[in-house]
Chain A
Amino acid sequence: MKRPLVRINIAFCAGIFIAAKFKINFPAAYFLSLLVLTAALLSVKKRQRFGILIFSFIFLLGMAHYAGAPKIKKNIYRKPGKEIAANMFILKAKTKIEAIISRYLSGVPASILEAMVLGEKERIPPLVNHRMIRSGTVHILVVSGFNVGLVAFIVVLFLKLMRLPRRLRILITIPLLVAYCLVTGASSPVVRATVMAAVFLAGYLLKREPDIYNSSAAAVLFILMLSPEKLFDLGFQLSFLSVLSIVWLYPKLKSCLRLDSLKIRPLKYLISGALVSFSAWLGTMFPIAYNFKIFSPVAVLANVLIVPLAGLITFCGFTLAAFHYICPGLNRLFAYTIELLVLILLQVNAFLISLPFASFYLP
């Protein structure tokens, strides 16, 4: 397995986990580091020593990092009160996009689009949010890796239309993704997706083969280096669990069903979508059931139908924001389409949760 970052990650996370569970303080972590390192050096064979040494070192680094890091309850990426120029710019950009959305769309579609594009959930009607939880599709109401991918795609496409060279396109896209991450509040899923996208793009820049496991590991390390407590944050766990279960499980299910040999294209896409949804559902089913006390078998079907719709709405949302500057006249047309798509999404969701055995509340 040539995935050094994954190994480093496992060691680092294990260190944080042990430090948190056994409430190890900084001197104890330091003392334990020396003890484990010495034991590792004395016990293993010469050939394995270097690997064990590195593993132990990272494990202890994780432990010491958790023990030494200040305990911050709030989102550490947001620093209210520090009115630096960057923060002001981000706030202005966010307010501007909100204003554009509210200008063209009516109440409910505007609130849903704000959640999908900016991660702002405050204005969403409580019943809509509740029904999305029941159908297992509430993740579409937050900014996730999908949105980051969409922003990257739109930016690269726009820069390509402007005939910029490939390297320059990548160099411009990465800071813009970071800006988008900050505009949306830098929650764990967005930071994960931004780091993964940056690693992917950097891979293209350096002509290296991108590897999803290594880029996920880089994202985990980045988030945990900034805030080790995020390891116990549900959003962080669900974000990585869903990505890893899709990456690991989906190819296996696909080859099991011999999907590549299927000739009918629309059916192939439909089954692929269902398998991705099923993989993510399987990976996140237990943490969701444990934390939210809800089990939603309808989530697989709901995600197959609702995620593409949500993707369309998000894409239209970004287009709406961009066309406000390029050609505002066209925005009325986009707004009508968004209103219709939101209506379809809500109707489909309401229908799905009305199906028998759609969801169960656990005691």
Chain B
Amino acid sequence: MFNLTYEERRVILFLGIIALIGLGISYAVKINPAAEKIIKVNPDSKITKLDINRFSRGDLHNLRRISPKLGQKIIEYRNSHGPYENLEQLKEIKGIGDYRYEKLKELFYIEK
């Protein structure tokens, strides 16, 4: 009808497939709301943040937000006080004020 090329027809078919996949996921979420947790990216998970109670110095190599010295301080605090229970504890470390804490919050999470 539109005199489309083979590639263009494939693109339209592909769009249909994407919509169908979305429909499938939407249906799965509707019948079982827990499915949403599986298909969505959790902002506080190991793929987007570091677990503050497990990370090592090697994980911080070349990471711009945090210097090796500060990373070492966070690890030392963990070793001396035990695992972090909440991220607010970071403020107890010398050199971490409100501004730096806000930046570090984007980097760490606590595995529950």
Contact = CB atoms under 8 A, between A and B. Distances in A.
Interface string A101-119: 0000011110000000000
Interface stretch (A239-247, A282-290, A340-348): A340-348
Which bucket holds chain A's interface residue count?
20 to 34
Contact of B47 (A126, A335, A347, A361): A347
Contacts of A133: 62
A108 B106 CA distance: 11
B31 interface: no
Contacts of B43: 106-108, 125
Contacts of A332: 22, 26
Given A126-B106, A361-B61, A333 B26 contact: yes
Contacts of B26: 332-333, 336
Contact of B18 (A157, A163, A319): A319
A160 interface: yes
B25 A126 contact: no
Interface in B36-53: 39-41, 43, 46-50
A336 B19 CA distance: 9
B65 interface: yes
A333 B11 contact: no
Contact of A130 (B15, B29, B41, B63): B63
Contacts of A335: 22
Given A125-B48, A361-B61, A334 B22 contact: yes
A126 B63 contact: yes
Given A319-B15, A334-B19, A350-B47, A339 B39 contact: yes
B61 A340 contact: no
B22 A157 contact: no
Contacts of A109: 40-41
Contacts of B13: none
Chain A, interface SS category: helix
Contacts of B25: 336-337, 340
A339 B41 contact: yes
Contacts of B34: none
Chain B, interface SS category: loop
Given A160-B2, A343-B41, A127 B15 contact: no
Contacts of B4: 160-161
A153 B7 CA distance: 10
A130 B19 contact: no
Nearest to A331: B22
B39 A343 contact: yes
Contacts of B39: 336, 339-340, 343
A157 B107 CA distance: 42
B21 interface: yes
Contacts of A336: 21-22, 25-26, 29, 39
B92 interface: no
B23 interface: yes
Interface of B: 2-4, 8, 11, 15, 18-19, 21-23, 25-26, 29, 39-41, 43, 46-50, 61-65, 106-107
What 8 A-B pairs are tightest by C-beta distance, nearest first?
A: A333-B22, A336-B25, A336-B22, A108-B41, A346-B47, A337-B22, A125-B48, A333-B19
Interface of A: 106-109, 125-128, 130, 133, 153, 157, 160-161, 163, 293-294, 316, 319, 330, 332-337, 339-340, 342-343, 346-347, 350, 361
